[in-house]
Each structure stands twice: as C-alpha cells, then as structure tokens.
Structure 1
Amino acid sequence: MSLALSGCFYANTSQAPIATTYPYSEQQRMQAAHHWEILARHEAGQILQRERVRFRDLHIRASQADGYVPYSGGEFDRGFRTLLTSELVTRGANVTTAAGDNSVDVVVGVEIVEHRGRGFVRPPVGAFTALTAGVAVATIPINHWAEPALGLIPAGIAADVVSGSWTYTGNEEVIITTQVIDQDRILYSSSNIYYINKDDRRQYAPPRVHYPDPAIPLTDTW
C-alpha cells in the first residue's frame, strides 16, 4: 500500500512549474476610426471628472513635441487628438491652442506590442459547443420536416448570434495612454490595450528611421 501511495505521489509532481493560463478575459480589436472616436469620448469624460483638471485650460500637445513619446505618430496620432479635442470642447472644456499660465498638457502616447513567440490560443469559451450544437440541430429536422433545406435554419441562427462577437487574436497589440500633465505632476493617466490588424500597424507607429552606423576613420600605420 505504501508503495502504491509513493508511486501516486511521484506521478503527480513536476520538476518545473507547469504553464497555466489567466482566467478567461476579453480584449477588443480597434480597426475603425469610429473606435478612435469611442475612446476619445471615454477619455474626455474621464478627464473632466477629475477635480484638479476640470477648471484648468487644456492644451493638447503634439506627441512629437520635446521628444515625448517617440513611438507615437501616424494617422492615429493626428486623428485621435482631433477627436479628443472635439469631445472636450463639446463637453464645455477650455481647450487652448497654446500653453498658458493656467493650462495643463494633454499628452497621448502609443506603444506597439508585437508577440513573436505566442503559443496556442484556445478559441472562445463555448465556440466548439455552439458549432457542434448547430450541426446537430441542423440534422434533426431533415428527417421530420418536409423541406430538408429548412434544417439549416437553426445553424444559421446560431451562426448569426455568435459570429459577430468573434475575431482572430493576432500578434499585434497597441497600448494607448492619455495623460494630463502639470509641469512635473501627472494629474490624470489612463492606459487602454487593444488588438490591431497587422496591416494597420503604420497607423499607430510608423517605422523608426534607421541611421547608418558612423564610419570608422582609417589611420595609416606607416
């Protein structure tokens, strides 16, 4: 008996930690200018809820200024700052085109994350159940309904219900950070993470300019 128990003990141990996953969660994909508008609307509302920011002049600073957030740029940088300006003005905020004595800087930062070694990602919870149930339901009425084509209706309904919520995971993500800065103090900071399409990468972070290595001067050894 003791030998059997010792065998079970060693069978359920490991020489290294076993990889596990985080609890099920969802992350949205940003793939339309309307999605930029939704984020701008959210950030404008959050900014104006801060007591220390509500009655200050807001100067939305370009990301290239002073070398801040060097990875930002592209269509998103211009479009999001424009949308954020519109949302803040609509809500009655004092938005200025130049910094002043009572102003604070609104800065938008963008960081691209590219996964190169991502392993297997499981489908959404219930994906296989929904698909197999659709197939099973589709085959049942064929033997009972007068028109066999009607058997595809349940599967079609199931596909319509779930297909609009699913999208591929992809390897590209973007971290968008909006901050309100008063000199050396950060009065507001909010970061949001989204999946993006691979071909949309340039909209968020154009490729860096690679400068050639400096030439090494040659000296005579005579």
Structure 2
Amino acid sequence: MALKLLMAVAAGVILSGCATRYTPAPLAANFPASKQAKLQATYHWGIVADAVERQLAVALKKTPTRPIFINTPAEPNPFQRALATQLTTALVNDGFTVSRAPAGALKIDLDVQTLTFAANRPQYRQNFGQRFPLADGVWMAKELSAPRLENEPFDPLDSEFAPGATPRTEIIVTISVSDQYRYLARSTSAYYVADADYALYGLTEPEPENTKLTRVFKVRGDL
C-alpha cells in the first residue's frame, strides 16, 4: 500500500514537472456550469418584458418625472413588436406615463441581437433523465446517455430543463433608457430560442448542417 502511494506521488510530481508553463495563446477552459432560459411561447416573451420593466423601474423612479417613449424599429420582427407592446403595458400598469410621440420624453430603445452558432455545438444535459420506482415513495434516478426527445413526457425530476438538443439560435436583448445626453437605465439579457422559430426573431433560415463543398478540378494532358 505504501509503495503504491509513493508511486502515485512520484507520478504526480513527474506530470506536474512536464506541465506547459508557457503557451503562445491562453489555454481553452470551460466556464462553471450555468443555465440559460429557452423561449418557447409568447407567454415567455411577456415574462421577459416584465423582468426588464422591473429593472428599468428602479432607475426611472430616481430620475425627474418625464413621459417615456418606446422607440420601435421601422420594421419590427414579431418578437420586437410583442416586446414593445408588452413593455408598454407593464410600464403603464406600474404608473409610468408612456408617450405616443418622442417630443419631451425619455426614449427607450429595443435592441435584439440574433446569433446562430455551429450545428455541432457541445451537447451537455442534466444528470438525471429517467426515474424508476423501487418501492412506495422511493425512486431510483438513471442517467440517460442521449438527450431526451422533444415528444418525451416531462418527469418531475428534470422538468426544469428544456427538451431536445442545445439550440443553435440565441438572442441578446438590450433595453436602454436615455435622453439626448446620457443613458439613464440599461438592461441586457440572453436567451436560447427554438431553432424552428428563427423567423420570429428576424433570422434567415440557418444553413443546412450537411452542406457539401463542390470543387472543380482541371485535368491537363491526354486522357
């Protein structure tokens, strides 16, 4: 036993001595595990609007009372249009004056940045995937090796997690309140969105996953 321990310590010393101390670029490392909400219904858009309004309200109540004008894009996509409408409702219900014209009002700008990541992005899932009853009130959790399919029923143990693969599509939502001189309040948040709903967020259809490149070769000489 002592010999095995000594050999393990020696191996650790050797490996630590061989570790790279200098590299031409930083070593790639993972962030700590985190969660990001996936938007899958217009009800979820309302939750986003309410969360944004609560953040902005804290700052707006510290500024001199002025009407608020929501500056929507000239041709909003369905998500931007719904977000502006729901944010207007939330502000009015919270006692703010929302103006229909920009003159003399603070301006709220809505910026939605859409992103499409690679089709083969990493797929990390929750630890628990299925439960099996052992006795009354006693369950055994079994990890699934593959992601749960879209049509599989939710289990109370893992219903917190969205079904299916990690989406390729994400959005960054930034809401800014400003006058002609400065920003008075700002909120930024990021969300997954279902890949099939890309058009609702102003995205064009993502490229097919199995896109093949065609090359033309020129042959010289007699055949």
Equivalent AA in structure 1 for residue 158 of structure 2: S
More helix as a share of residues: 1
- CA, structure 1 residues 84+78, in 2 after alignment: closer, same or farther (shift >3 Å)? same
Output aligned runs, 1:63-78, within 5 Å.
63-64=73-74, 73-78=76-81
> Per-residue deviation at 1:57?
0.5
- CA, structure 1 residues 186+11, in 2 after alignment: closer, same or farther (shift >3 Å)? same
Deviating more after overlay: 87-96 vs 44-53: 44-53
Consecutive unaligned residues of structure 2, counting only runs of 5 or more, are 1-6, 144-153, 206-223
CA offset digits 1:69-117 (Å, max 9, x no partner): xxx831111111111111111111011100122x111111100111126
More strand as a share of residues: 2
- Pair 1:20 & 2:29 matched: yes
What is the distance in 2 between the residues matched to 1:91 and 1:5?
Answer: 61
1:115 to 114, 117, 127: 117
- Pair 1:56 & 2:34 matched: no
- CA, structure 1 residues 154+177, in 2 after alignment: closer, same or farther (shift >3 Å)? same
Query: In angstroms, what is the RMSD of aligned CA positions?
Result: 3.4
TM-score, structure 2 length as denominator? 0.68
Count of residue correspondences = 181
> Per-residue deviation at 1:7?
4.7
What is the distance in 1 between the residues matched to 2:29 and 2:47?
Answer: 34
Moved over 6 A (4+): 3-6
What is the distance in 2 between the residues matched to 1:35 and 1:25?
Answer: 20
- Pair 1:181 & 2:190 matched: no
TM-score, structure 1 length as denominator? 0.68
- CA, structure 1 residues 79+11, in 2 after alignment: closer, same or farther (shift >3 Å)? same
2:161 to 156, 163, 166: 166
Consecutive unaligned residues of structure 1, counting only runs of 5 or more, are 65-71, 142-149, 209-222
Deviating more after overlay: 181-190 vs 84-93: 181-190
- Pair 1:191 & 2:191 matched: no
Question: What is aligned with 2:96?
Answer: 93
> Per-residue deviation at 1:46?
2.0
